[in-house]
């Protein structure tokens, strides 16, 4: 593989000058620069970023750790973060924590070893971060952990929007399919549901807790929780879910139980992944500003890396995307 020395020799300059050309140092004379560029072309020189990183202490590489790329929400996140990173001249090292704090910890180590310039993490569990005393700049996504910068949307407010919309439609028995009980994001959304549904349920003589389920964010789990909820008496006329995947799983359960959506059951999703707009009926859902989250996370990380003090982050606004999966309850008394 051709090295910087050979380029220098060919262009008749010193290696320092070649380095300056590659780093766009404006002090090199135009003619010199052109000779060097020609030599680079002719030799098809592929600079060694490893050597550059060792010396400059910059890898121009960001690490991203997500629980599961297979979850469309995170897939969108990965895509936008990758794009933002690339736009700023950075590559992306990807880690899949599989919702396992141990894996997460392991990746933080591995990526630190690789000397990434910074880490973006959608954390699965606070402990991994708490224990880690790393010197790598970190920006969290979705979920705050004390002492770390975070970019997130207002999950509780989002779930509350969803529940309020259903209440306005006339629903009284509104159930909740939440994410894993140990994940704050899931708890926040559950809390948003409770803000609205607790009184409604209680005044009808029911225990709000019995109308909530906690489980994974995926299709299967959503389907199972819906089955359990739809077996309740009185049966809920509406369900607020913690993810679009759970919502689609719930639609599946309803179909199996011959409960028409939205005529006999209203369902609201969360995230607004592309799938939400194509299932039948089209899913009404709480849209997260995934792109804004991604871009803000990258720019915050880059600032951190450059030693800029971060201002406190404002939670980003969610937006209720109204489509077809909700309707007034069948026998609404209003």
Instruction: Tell me which stretch binds DNA (CB under 7 A): 1-9, 70-78, 141-149, 163-171.
Output: 1-9
Q: Does residue 114 interact with a copy of itself by CB under 8 A?
A: yes
Question: From residue 328, how far is each of 122, 175, 238, 320 by CA, in Å?
Answer: 36, 15, 9, 17
Q: Residues 71 to 110: which contact a copy of itself by CB under 8 A? A: 72, 75-76, 78-79, 82-83, 86, 91-96, 109-110
Q: Which residues pair with 57 in a beta bridge?
A: none
Q: Of these partners, DNA, a copy of itself, none, which one is at the site of residue 15 (CB under 5 to 8 Å by kind)? A: DNA
Q: Is 203 helix (H, G, I), strand (E, B) or coil?
A: helix
Q: Does residue 284 interact with DNA by CB under 7 A?
A: no
Q: Does residue 284 interact with a copy of itself by CB under 8 A?
A: no
At closest approach, how far in Å is the CB of 75 from a copy of itself? 5
Is residue 212 within 8 Å of 242, Cβ to Cβ? no
Nearer to a copy of itself, 115 or 313 (CB): 115
Nearer to DNA, 30 or 312 (CB): 30
Q: Does residue 223 interact with a copy of itself by CB under 8 A?
A: yes
Q: What angle do CA 27, 1, 47 make, to 5 degrees?
A: 30
Sheet containing 238-241, strands listed edge to edge, beginning at the edge strand earlier in sequence:
212-214, 174-178, 238-241, 266-271, 284-287, 319-321
Q: Which residue has the tokens 């369900």?
A: 239
d(CA 108, CA 120): 10
Nearer to a copy of itself, 109 or 130 (CB): 109
At closest approach, how far in Å is the CB of 134 from a copy of itself? 8
Q: Does residue 44 interact with DNA by CB under 7 A?
A: no
Q: Does residue 22 interact with DNA by CB under 7 A?
A: yes
d(CA 38, CA 257): 71
Q: Does residue 112 interact with a copy of itself by CB under 8 A?
A: yes
d(CA 186, CA 67): 14
Q: Is 72 helix (H, G, I), strand (E, B) or coil?
A: helix
Q: Residues 54 to 73: which contact DNA by CB under 7 A? A: 54-56
d(CA 148, CA 133): 11
Is residue 119 within 8 Å of 62, Cβ to Cβ? yes
State the residues that interact with a copy of itself by CB under 8 A. Answer: 1, 44, 46-51, 53-54, 59, 61, 68-70, 72, 75-76, 78-79, 82-83, 86, 91-96, 109-115, 133-135, 218-220, 223, 248-249, 251-252, 255, 274-275, 277-280
State the residues that interact with DNA by CB under 7 A. Answer: 1, 3-5, 12-20, 22-23, 27-29, 31-33, 47-48, 51-52, 54-56
């Amino acid at each position: 593989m051709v090295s910087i020395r050979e380029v220098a020799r060919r262009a008749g300059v010193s290696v320092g000058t070649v380095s300056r050309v590659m780093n766009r140092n404006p002090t090199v004379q135009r003619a010199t620069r052109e000779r060097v560029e020609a030599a680079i072309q002719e030799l098809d020189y592929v600079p060694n970023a490893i050597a550059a990183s060792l010396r400059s202490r910059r890898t121009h590489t960001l690490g991203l750790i997500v629980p599961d790329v297979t979850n469309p929400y995170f897939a969108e996140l990965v895509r936008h973060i990758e794009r933002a990173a690339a736009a700023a001249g950075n590559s992306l090292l990807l880690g899949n924590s599989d919702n396992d704090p141990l894996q997460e910890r392991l990746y933080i180590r591995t990526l630190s070893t690789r000397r990434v310039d910074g880490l973006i993490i959608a954390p699965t569990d606070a402990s991994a971060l708490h224990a880690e005393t790393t010197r790598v700049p970190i920006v969290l996504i979705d979920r705050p952990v004390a002492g770390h910068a975070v970019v997130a949307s207002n999950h509780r407010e989002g779930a509350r929007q969803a529940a309020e919309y259903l209440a306005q439609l006339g629903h009284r028995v509104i159930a909740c399919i939440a994410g894993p009980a140990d994940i704050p994001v899931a708890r926040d959304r559950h809390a948003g549901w409770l803000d609205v549904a607790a009184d409604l349920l209680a005044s009808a003589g029911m225990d709000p807790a019995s109308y909530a389920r906690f489980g994974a964010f995926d299709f299967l789990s959503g389907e199972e929780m819906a089955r359990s909820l739809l077996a309740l008496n009185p049966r809920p006329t509406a369900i607020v879910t913690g993810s679009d995947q759970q919502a689609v799983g719930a639609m599946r359960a309803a179909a199996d139980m011959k409960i028409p959506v939205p005529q006999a059951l209203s369902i609201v999703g969360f995230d607004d992944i592309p799938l939400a707009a194509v299932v039948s009926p089209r899913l009404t859902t709480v849209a997260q500003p995934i792109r804004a989250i991604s871009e803000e996370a990258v720019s915050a990380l880059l600032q951190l890396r450059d030693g800029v003090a971060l201002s406190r982050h404002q939670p980003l606004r969610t937006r209720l995307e109204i489509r077809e999966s909700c309707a007034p309850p069948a026998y609404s008394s209003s």
